[in-house]
Amino acid sequence: MRYLLVDRILEWEPGRKIRGVKNIAMSEDFLEYHFPKNPVMPGVLLLEAQAQLAGWLEAASSDFRSWCLIQRVQQCHFYGFAYPGDRVEIEVQWKTNPAEGEKTFAGACSVDGQRKVVTEFGCKIVTLAEIDDVSDRRESFRLLTRG
């Protein structure tokens, strides 16, 4: 991944939900151009943070046998900006399993209790070993959860 958009995983319930945070630093390279003299985290990266958190939920729920890759966004509502210095709280919940190999998630990002993005998105479930090193992902999960 080019951008690792989850800095810490706070809690998770296998097969159900996960909660994490992204701390926005002024040194993030995407802030340089988005927008000049008014830096905000791009909304699409807040969506990507939710998708990454859904991937961690799938991995932790499957003993790191699978991961999910976002393939469609059913709904996405933006309510405000996330700025440098903000601690973005991210929550993702598993909703449905409409077809074999797919899952639907509901996600939300907020800062200081104020929502910024609310989404519903579908993911394709893939074998983790086919896209990444499983032991590396296990170690990353351990670090993210302070396990």
Which residues share a beta bridge with 76? Answer: 119
Rounded to whole angstroms, the Cα distance separating 119 from 124 reads 16
Give the active site residues. 34
32 DSSP assignment: T
pLDDT tens for each residue of 78-121: 999 999 999 999 999 999 876 778 999 999 999 999 999 999 99
pTM over 0.85: yes
Rounded to whole angstroms, the Cα distance separating 62 from 14 reads 8
Give residue 137's pLDDT. Answer: 96
Rounded to whole angstroms, the Cα distance separating 147 from 10 reads 11
The segments of the chain whose pLDDT lies below 70 read 1-2, 98
Please check whether residue 46 is in contact with residue 123, taking contact to mean a CB–CB distance below 8 angstroms: no
CATH superfamily of the domain spanning 8-145 = Hotdog Thioesterase (3.10.129.10)
